[in-house]
Amino acid sequence: MSKRAKIALVTVGLLVGAYLYLQERKPVPLTEFEISGPTMGTTYRIIVAGPEERHIGDLGSSIQQTLDGIESRFSTWNENSELSQLNQAPTEEWVSVSPDLCNVLGNATEAARLSEGAFDPTVGNLVALWGFTSNEDPVLLPNPSAVDAALANTGYQYLHTDCVNRRVRKDRNLSLDLSGFVKGYAVDQVARHLIKVNAHSFLVEVGGEVFAYRGNRQRNWRIGIAAPGLSDNDPVDVIPVNSQGVATSGNYMNFFEIDGERYTHIIDPTTGYPVQHETASVTVVAETAAEADAWATALLVLGSEKGLTAAQQRGIAAMFVDLREDDVVIRRSQVFDRIRMD
């Protein structure tokens, strides 16, 4: 049995009226436009208020251009992308890279350090070994020696960035995979673009990762969060969001089974094996969508027991969804609970 669908776990709902209020408290209807399209093997959706209708076409074109540029740099599926070229570069040599790639790798490596390796952008060799870079399901499991060999060429500590001189060095035969970071980064880049062009308020969603900006809205955007095993039309939580990113990582829609055992695409970079615990998804709210994306992946790797402790210690707003037989168990960090109460 196989599930190869893209995950879009955050259900975006406009649950508040779209109105601006002037100082006189007179409601002024706020015209909102929707821009959507394909990107990075998934889709994006943007709801924006502020631009005149005649400028929406130009705005949509500039957003698509921004996303296309990100995909051309960071795709692991495109062998001509800058990231793929870096993966093919020799080890123990400094390689010149674009400022964008260097900064993203630097930020991803810092996220790996903070999560003590639960999130790791060098996990690509393991992802490939377990068959998650192919459209075909594996028929055999990798043998332990192959896992050990891939694990020996995994580790953020072997990746070095020098962004002053725009260069990167790999000390092992690393394969970089930014899947747990780049969608959030793309959301943030589009959000920065919208602020730059003076959009009054907006919500950006790429493959389920979100950034919401209230701007001239009187009330925050409200984001509904879906959970595995429950209807998307009946979110388990609805949270107010303003100038924050929201990301969800889940392990229940991309997996394969061999001999009745289920193997998910969420691989623990410290062991080399797919995670085996009851936590099916983690949602994180953070200052940026990229930060939320990385921490959602890291906390899912840890599972709710260890992950909730880490979230509490670091002040991370996180919600864990555990599947226990036919029961759905929700656990939230204290910071996440405070957001819910706003």
Residue range 118-161, pLDDT digits in tens: 999 999 999 999 998 877 777 789 999 999 999 999 999 999 99
Confidence label for 17 from pLDDT (cuts 50, 70 and 90)? very low
Task: Give Cβ neighbours of residue 81 (< 8 Å, ≥ 6 apart).
Answer: 71, 72, 73, 74, 75
Q: Where are the domains of the chain?
A: 77-170
Q: What is the CATH number of domain 77-170?
A: 1.10.3980.10
Which residues pair with residue 170 across a beta bridge? Answer: 159
Q: What is the per-residue pLDDT across 297-319, written as a single tens digit (0 to 9) for each?
A: 999 999 999 999 999 999 999 99
Say whether 257 sits in a helix, a strand or coil. Answer: strand
Q: What percent of the chain has pLDDT over 90?
A: 69
The pLDDT of residue 231 is 57
CA torsion 107-113-115-116 (nearest 10°) is 160
Indicate whether 54 pLDDT > 90.
no
Please give the angle made by the CA atoms of 255, 184 and 264, to the nearest 5 degrees.
10
- Within 13 Å and on the Cβ side, how many CA atoms surround 147? 13
Which token pair is 144? 């332990």
- Does the pLDDT of residue 268 top 70, yes or no? yes
| Across 87-91, 107-111, 196-200, least confident range | 196-200
pLDDT band at 5 (very low <50, low <70, confident <90, very high): very low
What average pLDDT does the segment 270-281 reach?
A: 94
Mean residue pLDDT of the chain comes to 87
* Per-residue model confidence as pLDDT tens digits over 55-96: 677 889 999 999 999 999 999 989 999 999 999 999 999 999
For residues 43-53, average pLDDT: 81
**pLDDT reading at 193 higher than 70:** yes
pLDDT band, residue 286 (cuts 50/70/90): very high
How far CA 303 is from CA of 169, 185, 263, 267, in Å, comes to 32, 24, 15, 12
pLDDT of residue 51: 57
Tell me what pLDDT residue 326 has. 75
| CB neighbour list of residue 90: distance below 8 Å, 6 or more residues apart | none
Residue 128 burial (CB < 10 Å; 0-12/13-18/19+)? middle
Band (27; pLDDT cuts 50, 70, 90): very low
